[in-house]
Amino acid sequence: MSQQTVVQLVFGVMAALSLGGAMGVVMARTVFVSALWLILSFVGVAGLYITLGAGFLAVIQVLVYVGAISVLILFAIMLTEDVMGDEHPNNGQVGLAIILLTPLIFLLGKWGFTANWPVKAAAILPRSGLSVDAATAAALPGALKTGDAFLVPDSVAYLGRVLMTEHFLAFEVVSVVLLVALVGAIVIARD
Amino acid sequence: MMMELMPVWLQAGAGNPLREFLLENILTGLSEAWRPLVADLLTWSLTCALIMGIVQVTMLYCTLLERKFVGRIQDRIGPNRVGYWGLLQPFADMVKMLTKEDITPAVAHRSVYNLGAILVVPPAIMVFAILPLSLGLVASDLSVGFLYFISVASVVIVPIFMAGWGSRNKFALIGAMRAVAQTVSYEIPQVLSVVGVLLLAGSLSTGDIILAQGTVGSGAQASQGFPGGWFILTQPIAFVIYLMATTAEVERTPFDIPEAESEIIAGYHTEYAGIKFGLFQLSQYFMTIASAALGSVLFLGGWMSPFPGGLLQTLGPLNLGFFWMGAKTLLLILGFMWLRGTWPRLRSDQLMGFAWKVLVPLSLANLLITALLGWLLHGWWNASGAQGLGRSAVVVVAFLAANGLLLFGAMLGFGRLRAKGGRPDIRFEATGVGSSVEGAA
Amino acid sequence: MPHIPSILTHFSPELILVVGMLLVLTYDLWVRGREGLQANLAIITTVLALVATLVLWVTMPGSHPVFEACGPGAKAGTCRPGAFISDDFTHFFRVLGLLGTLLVLISGQTYMRGRTAFKGEFYALVLSAVLAMNLMAGANDLIVIALAIEFLSITSYILTAFLRHDGLSIEGGLKYFLYGSITSAAMLFGMSYLLGIGGSTSVPALAAIARNPELAQVQGYANIMLPALALVLAGIAFKIALVPFHQWSPDAYQAAPTPVTAFLSVGPKAAGFAVLIRLFVGSFSSLSASWLGTMGLLCLLSMVVGNVAALTQGNVKRMMAYSSIAQAGYMLLGVVSLGGKTLMGLDSVGAVLFFILTYVFTNLGAFAVIIAVEQATGSAELGAYRGLMRRSPLLAVSLVVFFLSLVGVPPLAGFVAKFAVFGAAVTGGQVPLAVVGVLTGVVSVVYYFGVVREMFFGASEEGQPGPIRVGMGTTFVVLVALLMTLVVGLWPEPFITLANNVAHSIAPALQAAGGH
Amino acid sequence: MAMIPLWWYLMVAAGLFTIGLYGALVRKNAVSVLMGIELMLNAVNVNAVAFWRYVSPTAKAAAGADRPVGDFVVGMDGQVFAVVVIALAAAEAAVGLAMVIALYRSRRSFNLPQMDQLQG
């Protein structure tokens, strides 16, 4: 159980980072500081991906969100805003937004908590090569027999392969979307 | 090599001799629930401490080496007063840094200013996690190794931004913006140049990439993996692009515009003094060493002996991987230093033009020919059943020829552009703040 | 690997568009001395894609999954269904999108010529928008749907803000962008829950779960699937500009370069309805009892708000924005009257398709006139139309015809379309909505008549402005639109058959059931 | 036996989404609104990856399986979805910030209340 404690601890830290960072984003007075909190939140989310075993996504999260998007935001702030912050960064809808969003968070919590997600596979999470135990086999009716080998492939190589087969269209379209965004951003922002 | 991030963190290698030793001899008193965990954490910490110790010492002496080496290039002697041949100079510098007054400007945004200096170091340390110092001596050989390096290295720009903004000094701000623009731009050719290597190695893991470079010649081992030997042989253009982009990434001369003393005082760390200034220097040296080490992993075979057949890979019971890795890394670091001693600084717009108009197209073209050639050659050896040294020779010659053609074509293309006046602009014009006094030859 | 030959055939219109787009983008690089012909290249590309679509439609009818793929773990013969489906329904929207774009390109060519230096980029973006619309028409996987919607959105934002020296254009673009991004984030969030329910983003897999009530009950999905679908609906409603997801549309319409406005008023709407129908009617019809109410509300609000808000507009582009919101409400009326059948033999989905068909031509015709007027007077305010009858009888008369068709006056195309939709609503059990539709249709006469009054009876203060010279392109587009408006109105049978066939291809089960 | 229950992740995602939406609704400044949107997109990704890890395989078996689950293979849809969303977020950010900069050039402000030239 000790390992479980540690994993849960790691999760707690990462969740706190991402949620705390998010709170910082909406609370900070200065746009720049807001952006720094945003980066903290992104790092926390990357940590969550690590606890989920999605190492590639964690790395991509840091590379794209921290290394690119945040930097873009920081650049935009530097190019536009004066260095000092605004005393009143919010518009007049704070109360309204809180009234609207309080039910939303309860609703979302209810969906996540009460739905009977087929999580039996949570146990899956064993590493490749282990064999299926009786409990898992029972939890996955029809899918697995006791003694079958788990095949959780090296997720990077597997993800690459899936992007080239099942999700080939999505992969190709993403490249066109990025090209279009690049062209558009240059056209709009160019002096 | 096929491990995901989490398992590596929590189970620093079952079968790790250090771990076994700890389990059997040291941690006997602990309860069964915690024993493996503590062993893991200890093993992991000790490995990291060892690696970090090596890196720290290297870094300290890199500063001395740089001053000596550049001194020689410029016909000076360099530091020679503290200790024999100046050997204690780094420590004297350290003491000086630590005892200097710690200044925070009155108008600075205090927390951002201080955090900027502190946060610039961790990413520079974290990148060493995937660099194998020798066979098996790696903090964690992630399956996403190379991407991990790039992404963690890209985080460094955030503290730089914080430093520039938090100082509330326009020179610091300009320095930070230049630094970030430069780093972001050169990241692209840096990654694109390496993609060819990744393609040929078929993996992102640093361990796999090194192993892929060792399959020259015959034998069962050679039938799998890429038979071209070190990637510098098959990817020379990529190697050069990588070195240039890395020089810009770590902001060394001739790409040290963010801290051009003659233009904007000292860039984003203008307002920093004492140990906080030292942290920026530390981070920069760490990144230089790490990039050089990554370069030797990607292109020079990492810890592998340069002699055929694994000659001098071991000396009796001693694994010489560490020595080879160190030697190759040092070679690249000396290259960086040589550049610094010789070349003047580029101008800001020239620098960006060089990245976008020269390096990016070139690395894209290189990627294209690498993919095509790799595919054709793979088909060829699968069809002909070619093996052994002959196959390696064919592969290397084919890639060298393709690279030569690419270089020729690129020179022709850029020459045409230059004739039409559309070249990256390298003229001398004193245009306001951005102009460089030295200019470029 | 995906099956390459099937991609090369059934995906060829999109491939042509991609290649054409790249060529247009890099035109300046290859061609020296003949600058500014990107528009022609774009027109050629569109025509080629159109021809390819028609050839596909005629020679290979039926449903063809493209990008079918077998994952590495799959056994032979059990492949993942294609992420893109090329069937009659896709062809229908491909043809509409490409034809609409063609008309926009022809009528807007001279307008853009003097206004931007980035011609290649502009036409490349237009082509990529068509590409995105085609993807939306055939997408059969949540990832591709999300991607296509976002693709079209991003392209639309850029096109709206394209005249960047015009502060108005950028402001409209930024508003469009912010509203759009929030809505699409919500849509993606809903999709992430659908992913959790299905364990897969494949729409057929999700539809299978939705059709299986026991599974949905046992696993407690029912409570989550509907809100998740509602979030997806919000994303689509944003693209269609249904109330209350419409706030962006008047601003974006007014701010965008007018050819882009013309494009926005038909392209994203048609593509949005394609996704809406394929997803909700095609795949999740088993849940119709739950989503009908929400959609009915959207429909009601769109018809009322669109028509009422249009009354007070002084800018014709803005007025057309509200008018098109109302028209979208009528289209949605056809969707919610699921199972209805009209006198003409059209079923409800067919009625929607028929409505979209007429709407595309009528609206584009109207916009061709608006572009020509703005070209001549430099303004889209109501005052610019003063005395248009004297200045250019062709423009004025045809604009009246298009407006009459939009109102729904016989014997024009719009009348048949509205008749079909209202008929479907009455037989499909949505009588109150049909009544509201008819009443708001009467209201719409008022604002259209405002423009007509200016054109015919408005006396200009500053003397007599000269006649407007109408370019070849505009004349062509106006005449084509006029022709279609009249032909569809007078002889609707072939188009009804067409719409019905297409509708059957998307919801065969629905037809077999013969009702609700 | 799950080390971390799935709903923990879903809660974090719900929190991120709500906070992001709050930021997008109440902020005056276009860049801050964009940051709120980025938080919402992160929530989407947390959901997607969590579902990838916990749900994908069984649901395939339950839904009549478009792919047989012989040797156990984890479906990658969740990760692909997340990758696509990250790419879209990058594209959106680029376009949005370009607009912010262009607007700042003409108005010297990027506060939304100042954007009032378009009104009907």
**What is the pLDDT, as a whole number, of residue C77?**
45
Q: Do A71 and B151 touch (CB under 8 A)?
A: no
Q: Do A89 and D92 touch (CB under 8 A)?
A: no
CB-CB neighbors (< 8 A) of A71 in chain B: 157-158, 161, 180, 184
Give CA–CA dist C277/C283, Å, rounded: 9
**Which residue type is seen at B96?**
K
Q: What is the mean pLDDT of each run of 10 residues along chain C (516 residues)?
A: 79 95 89 79 96 94 79 50 88 95 91 84 94 94 94 95 85 92 95 85 82 68 82 94 91 92 94 94 85 92 94 92 95 88 81 94 94 88 86 91 92 92 90 93 92 82 74 92 94 91 74 41
Which of A57, A128, A144, A169 is the mutation pick for testing C, counting most C CBs within 10 A? A169
CA of A71 vs chain D CAs: smallest distance (Å) = 11
Global pTM reads 0.91
Task: Note down the domain range covering B299.
Answer: 103-425
Q: Do D47 and C215 touch (CB under 8 A)?
A: no
Query: Percent helix, strand, coil in chain B (nearest 5)?
Result: 70, 0, 30
**What is the pLDDT, as a whole number, of residue C219?**
62
Name the DSSP class of B434. G
With touching defined as 3 or more inter-chain CB pairs under 8 Å, the answer for chains A and B is: yes
Look at residues B81, B53, B52, B55 and name the one whose alpha carbon lies nearest to residue B67.
Answer: B81
Residues of A (121-150) whose Cβ lies below 8 Å from B: 127-128
Residues of C (314-353) whose Cβ lies below 8 Å from D: 314-315, 318
Which of B114, B118, B158, B167 is the mutation pick for testing A, counting most A CBs within 10 A? B158
The neighbour count for residue C48, using CB atoms within 10 Å, is: 17
Q: Do B144 and A55 touch (CB under 8 A)?
A: yes
CB-CB neighbors (< 8 A) of C197 in chain D: 59
With touching defined as 3 or more inter-chain CB pairs under 8 Å, the answer for chains B and C is: no
The neighbour count for residue B77, using CB atoms within 10 Å, is: 11
CB-CB neighbors (< 8 A) of B10 in chain A: 3, 6-7
- Tell whether the torsion through CA atoms of B280, B284, B289 and B294 is positive or negative: positive
Helix (H, G, I), strand (E, B) or coil at C218: helix
Number of alpha carbons in the 13 Å side-chain half-sphere of residue B8: 21
A3 in contact with C at a CB cutoff of 8 Å? no
Which of A8, A63, A161, A175 is the mutation pick for testing B, counting most B CBs within 10 A? A63
Q: What is the DSSP string of C436-472?
A: HHHHHHHHHHHHHHHHHHHHHHPPPSSS-PPPPPPPH
C216 in contact with A at a CB cutoff of 8 Å? no
> Could you state, in order of their start, the residue ranges of all structural domains in chain C?
4-513
Q: Do C170 and D62 touch (CB under 8 A)?
A: no
CA of A146 vs chain B CAs: smallest distance (Å) = 24
D7-22 residues labelled b (16+ CB within 10 A) or e (exposed): bbbbbbbbbbbbbbbb
pLDDT at D85 over 60: yes
The dihedral over CA atoms of A144, A147, A150, A151, expressed in degrees to the nearest 10, equals -90
A66 in contact with B at a CB cutoff of 8 Å? yes
- CB C406, CB C485: distance < 8 Å: no
Burial class (CB in 10 A: 0-12, 13-18, 19+), C238: buried
Among A66, A70, A155, beta carbon nearest to B4 = A155
**What is the pLDDT, as a whole number, of residue B138?**
78
- CB C325, CB C243: distance < 8 Å: yes
Annotate A82-132 with three-state secondary structure: CCCCCCCCECCCHHHHHHHHHHHHHHHHHHHHHCCCCHHHHHHCCCCCCEC
**What is the pLDDT, as a whole number, of residue B104?**
84
Tokens of A164: 């080239």
Q: For C69, list phi and psi in degrees, rounded to 5.
A: -145, 150
CA of C139 vs chain A CAs: smallest distance (Å) = 10
Q: Which residue of D has its CA nearest to A69?
A: D90
Give CA–CA dist D45/A61, Å, rounded: 10
What's the structural domain count of chain B? 1
ipTM score for this prediction: 0.90
Considering only the C-alpha atoms of chain B, give the largest distance between any 2 of them, rounded to a whole number of Å: 78
Establish if B366 belongs to a structural domain: yes
Q: Check whether the bond before C411 is cis (ω within 30° of 0).
A: yes
Question: For every one of its 191 residues, what pLDDT tens digit does chain A have, with 9 covering 90 and above?
Answer: 456 777 788 899 999 999 999 999 999 888 889 999 999 999 999 999 988 878 899 999 999 999 899 999 998 888 876 545 566 677 778 888 888 888 888 888 887 777 766 654 434 444 444 445 555 555 444 445 555 544 455 567 778 878 887 888 999 999 999 999 999 999 998 86
CB-CB neighbors (< 8 A) of C135 in chain A: 173
> Could you state, in order of their start, the residue ranges of all structural domains in chain A?
1-124, 126-191
A91 in contact with C at a CB cutoff of 8 Å? no
Among A115, A170, A180, beta carbon nearest to C125 = A180
Least confident of A12-16, C353-357, D28-32, D68-72: D68-72
A179 in contact with D at a CB cutoff of 8 Å? no
Q: How many CB pairs below 8 A link A and B?
A: 93
Q: Which residue of C has its CA nearest to D116?
A: C171
CB-CB neighbors (< 8 A) of B144 in chain A: 55-56, 59, 156
Q: What is the DSSP string of B168-216?
A: T-HHHHHHHHHHHHHHHHHHHHHHHHHHHHHHHHT-S-HHHHHHHTT--
**What is the pLDDT, as a whole number, of residue C369?**
94
Which of C152, C169, C189, C305 is the mutation pick for testing D, counting most D CBs within 10 A? C189
Among A36, A75, A155, beta carbon nearest to B162 = A36
DSSP element (H, E) containing C65: strand C64-66
Tokens of B261: 């003393």
Q: What is the mean pLDDT of each run of 10 residues along chain B (441 residues)?
A: 33 60 76 75 81 86 88 86 84 86 84 90 90 78 88 91 86 84 89 93 86 64 67 92 90 71 69 85 90 94 79 74 90 90 78 87 93 90 80 89 92 77 45 36 32
CA of C40 vs chain D CAs: smallest distance (Å) = 27
**D103 confidence band (pLDDT: 50, 70, 90):** confident
Establish if B55 belongs to a structural domain: no
- By residue count, chain C amounts to 516
Domain A1-124 = CATH 1.10.645.10:
no
